[in-house]
Amino acid sequence: MSSLKDKVIIITGAVGNLGHAVAERVQSEGGRMVLVDRSNDRLQKTWNKLKDSAQHWLAGDVDMTDPKSVNTMAAEGHKRFGRLDGLVNTVGGFRGGKPVHETDPAEWDFLYDLIVRTTLNGCRAVIPYMLQAQGGSIINIGSRNVFQGNPNYAAYSAAKTAVLRITESLAGELKTHGIRVNCVLPGTIDTPQNREAMPQADFSAWVPPGDLASVIAFLLSDDARSVTGTAVPVFGRS
């Protein structure tokens, strides 16, 4: 098992299905965490067991679309722990269902902000601290849609593809500084929301959040020291 003992990992979207699974995995491997969510109340309720822990910080009321808010979070995390070893950007969302010519421009803006801007802001906030330390690991979340745009989901596909291109560019820029940047590409994730939306689907073919968390934990660990700039498909059997 790849140990994350004493590493400090920022996990955005820590209340969401994937963020929660990643946080549980990081904690199980001895990592220290900065758990980030836009709602402090929701964060405190979900992670109540950690609210008094000196090993973790619940960073609520952080707007990942606002660079100032994200920079403040990263600075406070570094001040508390003296280091930032990893970042997992799990904030995202899904919309679609209309052809390009019928999709409201506001939907393009919404998905860009939710998927691309949050990822970009997270990366920009932590990289200066990782450069100081000459090391670190950043994990971004793409989608199988980065390989081909699907009808009626162009805005989502474009946003996820932008995340992959950002990942690849950062990996090239930062590899000589010991900083690794990788992108995980989930298939359909087995969440209550997806089950409700697709009740007739074969849930057993979907990807459990815990399986994604295992891949992410590996990429955060020193066992993946030679892995950067990759797009890792985690499609399950779907």
Question: Catalytic annotation on 129?
Answer: no
Choosing from 112, 129, 153, 156, which is the catalytic residue?
A: 156
Please choose, from the candidates 46, 130, 18, the residue with its C-alpha nearest in 3D space to the C-alpha of residue 83: 130
List the catalytic residues.
156
